[in-house]
């Protein structure tokens, strides 16, 4: 499937179909192919397939499902919904037009980041507990014998972190089943945590490569949705 799509896009480029389009109207496959046509840049079909797999398989449903669950939690929590909408209106205005926020405007929005983080905390452990595409983080293999606390783990053992248990741990989170975005304020609950207590994208050098892309998508979509006036 990916090979057919790549060849189709190559033909379109060769026939000049996309030549007059601005970059923001081109699809990602076309942009990647154009990048590969530049001097000193080479992108193989295998690399394109891998990138497409990441975007279409790992980066599509996961983000859209996350947004759905975020809207669910906001619908249940009118206080958080109203606070988020007030922040957005304060920055973008309340005109009856569709507005795509700029990067600088998104940077001014603090509460939306708290909503996204708290939603991640909640949905991974509660709603997505039943149907999440990723219950555990990517397994790692120990390179030597090691003790974790009082537990001995021999070399070459596969280990995976249960993110659901991490995010519901009462030693870290007060009322972990409650949707409370203010946990993530600068002086909020999370500032006193020791070690890793929030890891929906994993952590370290092998964390999800699409984390920032996904978070930006969520900020944009939530901002535009919550800025819409309710029309009866």
Each residue of 56-104: pLDDT tens digit? 777 777 888 888 888 888 899 899 999 999 999 999 988 767 788 998 9
Full-prediction pTM beyond 0.85?
Answer: no
pLDDT in tens, 108-158: 999 988 888 877 665 443 333 334 556 778 889 999 999 988 999 999 999
Q: Comparing C-alpha atoms, which of 198, 176, 182 is closest to residue 110? A: 182
Residue 54 lies in a domain: yes
Residue 38 lies in a domain: no
For residue 208, say whether it is annotated as part of any ligand binding site: yes
Residue 18 lies in a domain: no
Residues of the domain holding 127: 44-227
pLDDT value, residue 86? 93
Residue 10 lies in a domain: no
Residue 103 lies in a domain: yes
The CATH number assigned to the domain holding 115 equals 1.10.630.10
Residue 15 lies in a domain: no
* 218 neighbors 68 (Cβ within 8 angstroms): no
pLDDT in tens, 71-82: 888 899 899 999
DSSP for 83-150 reads HHHHHHHHHH---SS-----HHHHHH--HHHHHHHHHHHHHHHTTTTTT-S-SBPPPEE-SS-EEETT
Residue 33 lies in a domain: no
Residue 37 lies in a domain: no
Residue with tokens 């007030």: 86
Number of structural domains in the chain: 1
Pick 206 or 38 by higher pLDDT.
206
Give the count of beta carbons closer than 10 Å to the beta carbon of residue 64.
12
Average pLDDT for 6-33: 79
pLDDT value, residue 122? 56
């Amino acid at each position: 499937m990916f090979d057919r799509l790549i060849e189709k896009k190559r033909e379109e480029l060769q026939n000049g179909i996309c030549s007059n389009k601005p970059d923001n109207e081109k699809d990602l496959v076309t942009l990647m192919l154009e990048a590969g046509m530049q001097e000193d840049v080479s992108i193989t079909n295998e690399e394109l397939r891998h990138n497409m797999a990441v975007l279409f398989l790992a980066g599509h449903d996961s983000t859209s499902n996350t947004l759905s669950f975020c809207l669910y939690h906001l619908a249940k929590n009118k206080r958080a919904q109203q606070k988020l909408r007030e922040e957005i209106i304060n920055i973008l205005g309340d005109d009856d037009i569709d507005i795509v926020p700029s990067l600088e405007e998104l940077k001014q929005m603090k509460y939306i980041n708290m909503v996204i983080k708290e939603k991640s905390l909640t949905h991974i452990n509660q709603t997505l507990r039943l149907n999440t595409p990723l219950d555990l983080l990517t397994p790692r293999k120990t390179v030597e014998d090691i003790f974790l606390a009082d537990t001995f783990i021999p070399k070459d053992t596969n280990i995976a972190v249960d993110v659901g248990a991490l995010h519901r741990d009462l030693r870290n989170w007060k009322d972990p089943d409650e949707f409370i975005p203010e946990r993530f304020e600068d002086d909020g609950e999370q500032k006193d945590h020791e070690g890793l207590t929030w890891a929906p994208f994993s952590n370290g050098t092998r964390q999800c490569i699409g984390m920032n892309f996904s978070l930006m998508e969520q900020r944009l979509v939530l901002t535009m949705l919550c800025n819409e006036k309710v029309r009866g």
